[in-house]
Amino acid sequence: MARRTPPGPDLFDVEQKIIDIDVRDEMQGAFLEYAYSVIYSRALPDARDGLKPVQRRILFGMHEMGLRPDKAHVKSSRVVGDVMGKYHPHGDTAIYDALVRMAQPFTMRLPLVDGHGNFGSLDDGPAASRYTEARPAPAALLMTGSLDEETVAFVPNYDDQLMQPDVLPAAFPNLLVNGASGIAVGMATNMAPHNLGEVIGAARHLIAHPDASLDDLMRFVPGPDLPQGGRIVGLDGIRDAYESGRGSFRTRALARIENITARRKGIVVTELPYLVGAEKVIDKVKTLVQSKKLQGISAINDLTDRTKGLHLVIEIKNGFNPEAVLAQLYKLTPMEESFGINNVALVEGQPRTLGLRELLKVYVEFRTDVVRRRTAYRLRRKEERLHLVEGLLIAILDIDEVIQLIRAADDVATARERLIQVFDLSELQANYILDLQLRRLTKFSRIELETERDELLRDIEALRALLEDHQLLLNLVSDELAAVAKEHGTPRRTVLLESDGVSATAAASTPLEVTDDPCWVLLSSTGLLARTSTDEPLGTGGSRRKHDVIVSAVRTTARGSVGLVTSSGTLVRISALELPTLPPTNGAPTLSGGAPLAAFVDLPAGALPLALCSLEDTGQGLALGTRNGIVKRVNPDYPGNKDEFEVISLKDGDQVVGAVELTTGEEELVFVTNDAQLLHFSASGVRAQGRSGGGIAGIKLAKDAAVQGFWAVDSSAENVVVTVSGSSGALPGTQTGSVKVTPFEEYPAKGRATGGVRCHRFLRGEDALLLGWAGAAPPMAASGNGAAVELPDANGKRDGSGIPAAAPITAIH
């Protein structure tokens, strides 16, 4: 039988009550509740442990999970889930982001989480929590240590099911060491990281001198110490921040200018400003270059790896001053950033802006309270243990009566009451005796108990002294901070600069492009090329060091070109702009800072560099001498659209042995052969030819003889001839030989295409001239490694023998 459903209440038959509420009051109240929640539960750190609620709950959650630095990593998602379910019901994304930040060494000066996996970089985000693993870092144990000793207050979690710490014990000033950033409602915080050892030094000084001034504390903490290093330029803003809690400073990348190749300079960046990634700099530089706002950069390469860390190479175009380009990079790119300090933190539940002294004072007072509460807890536990030990000693002294009393009792309650009455014990002591194991009743156990009692008495006395003497408590806090700094402290990474070291006037006056100033291009005996910064006459004084022997020098301009004559009869164009610049010197220039010739000229196999020459039509052209005795004067009509061209047509088996640039056309051309014959005649007797000409006869050679060297000398100057004899079968550079220096006037002039005169007499074991040279006195000789070799005085006869050389001579100038 179907049941009839009774009629329900009439929905419209109710008394309705509508309350009018001002929407402004409602919105104001809701906004204040929201602002309060953001400020106190999300965005601002506590001034005591320096942690936001989510960070504190992550560390406490890992502590409760039993994770430690010496145990295996666990999945980050496991930590996130546990923290979200128990303590922080605000979504896994917020928790994981906070966990990642505490694991990033470029964000935290002393990371609190040890991450395993991809925890991101300054340019890329981290992997998902299911792909990464985490565990507490050693510093995290300092934050959670002594939590089980009633050092801090515990409060209920969001659903009142569990308890969580209101603040962590924090054995080091985490807020100053790791900094903080957050945006709340109506306020924000932005605090820079600092060096652990410096902050602890300032805290200990404040403990010892409570009235210490800001200047006293800044002797320990001169400025922030950023995780990425870099440089802080300008310290006035730092002092303002330490005094009032608000200020700013400029962070600058650490960059140096160096030769990245033999012909090109570059800017190498090894440290960037705080929280600035390499990709951000690269993208900005590329944008500025494409928009023509930044000039002088040809390429930018990121060579960063795990071994050498950040390594950003910015190549500079030839013709631009690297210093000026670097100044533009600082001005236009994130290689120089401004960091605004806003030290806002919660103090007793209220947001406050704190200076350095106030931050340290809040932490010291908090840590002192933590140590006091820990001491009181340990004292209470020691007293409780002493109470039990004393009761146990009473029972052991009368153990037979205790056993008889317990056996005669009908139940545990009766035994407990009789023990209390007979031996004057407390209920706690009586229960402990009833739970006693029989093996504890030995004689040795009694000795252990007496020893433990004595130790407990000493510990209790020391703990009571700490609680009764506030200065002893402060000393303990200071000693514990010192131990933390010794174990976890690291050297400072950030360099502090009062200024950038360059005045605004000097920076503005530095030209971006290299000016076309006159200079000298030099070639050393070891094959190094360089140019001077001025065209001052080359000095001859000063010390004689490696690479001092310059075999060729040509005056040009910084944006000009010079020619290099090779033994294959070609002339190669070299841009002076690509050559390294030598610093100014008062004496003879040294090419120790030069670049190898091979970096600028790709010579064919067997071709040797001979001399530098000017490419301008300002002189009498080149004079060339070949191995087969041919001489040629070359008209200086060099093509401007070629980088390499012939200056003489050589026959098979012939090669150029000497090249010199003529200035007046009246110089004396000098040939020296390997069989010790010397011929010189006037250059005016040699008609100039075009580049394709093959030259004319210069010296008549004996059978199997060859030209050893060719030079041109100014007959109006004081000239000498240097000859070095030796064995033709010896390896080059292994035989010192005999060296002779003779005045040039000793050799009479002969007609062109003749055999000349004898210039050197061979001694026993010598059969050839290894080296010869003719030019203005005094000459300078060098060994194969460029070291200078002393020569004898110019007093030898033209057909006489030489004296043993001090070292093998390979070049003379």
For 762-790, the DSSP string reads --TT--EEEEEEEEESSP-EE-TTS-EE-
DSSP string computed for 112-143: SEEEES----SSSPPPPTTT-EEEE-HHHHHH
pTM of full prediction above 0.85: no
Q: Give the model confidence (pLDDT) of 109-132 as tens digits.
A: 999 999 999 999 988 899 999 999
Rounded CA gap, 708 and 725, in Å? Answer: 11
Residue 3 confidence class, pLDDT cut points 50, 70, 90: low
pLDDT value of residue 765: 82
- Which CATH class, in words, describes the domain spanning 648-813? mainly beta
Contacts of 357 (CB under 8 A, 6+ apart): 206, 212, 214, 217, 242
Instruction: Please name the residue that has the structure tokens 């419209």.
Output: 12
Q: Judge residue 31's burial from the number of C-beta atoms within 10 Å of its C-beta, 0-12 exposed, 13-18 middle, 19 or more buried.
A: exposed
User: pLDDT tens for residues 78-120?
Assistant: 999 999 999 998 889 999 999 999 999 999 999 999 999 999 9
| Burial state string for 525-564 with b = 16 or more CB within 10 A and e = fewer than 16 | bbbbbbbbeeeeeeeeeeebebbbbbbbbbbbbbbbbbbb
* Cβ(257)–Cβ(571) below 8 Å: no
707, 629 Cβ separation under 8 angstroms: yes
Q: Is the CB of residue 552 less than 8 Å from the CB of residue 522?
A: yes
| pLDDT higher than 70, residue 40 | no
Residue type at 741 in one-letter notation: V
Catalytic residue among 131, 242, 330, 377: 131
CA separation for the pair 112, 115 (Å, rounded):
10
Average pLDDT over residues 613-636: 87
Give the pLDDT confidence of 499-544 residue by residue, as tens digits: 655 443 334 455 677 778 888 898 887 788 888 887 777 755 444 4
Q: Residue written as tokens 């702009």?
A: 577
How far apart CA 300 and CA 315 sit, in angstroms, is 6
CATH of 51-169, one of 2.130.10.10, 3.40.120.10, 1.20.120.160, 3.90.199.10: 3.90.199.10
- List the one residue out of 577, 647, 575, 566 whose CA is nearest residue 603: 566
- Asked whether residue 247 carries a pLDDT value surpassing 80, the answer given is yes
By the 8 A CB rule, do 163 and 79 touch? no
CATH number of 254-334: 3.30.1360.40
**Token output for 405:** 């009393």
**Domain positions in the chain:** 51-169, 254-334, 369-488, 515-616, 648-813
Q: What tens digit of pLDDT does each residue of 467-478 get? A: 999 999 999 999
* Coil/strand/helix, residue 390: helix
Residue 340, strand partner residues = 248
Can you name the CATH fold of 369-488?
A: Topoisomerase; domain 3 (1.10.268)
Q: Kind and range of the H or E element at 505?
A: helix 504-509
| Six-digit token string for 12 | 């419209």
- pLDDT attached to residue 541: 46
CA distances from 604 to 242, 425, 570 (A): 67, 107, 11
Q: Lowest-pLDDT range, 2-16, 186-200, 322-336?
A: 2-16
Mapped onto helix, strand or coil, the DSSP state of residue 404 is helix
pLDDT at 506: 39
Please state which of the ranges 644-658, 664-678, 765-779 shows the lowest mean pLDDT: 765-779
Decide if 191 contacts 108 (C-beta within 8 A): no
| 203 vs 198: CA distance, rounded Å | 9
* Predicted pLDDT of residue 504: 39
Length of the chain: 813
> Residue 283: its pLDDT value, please?
94
Q: Is 131 a catalytic residue?
A: yes
Element (H, E) at 803: strand 803-804
| pLDDT at residue number 9 | 58
Q: Which residue has the higher pLDDT, 110 or 8?
A: 110
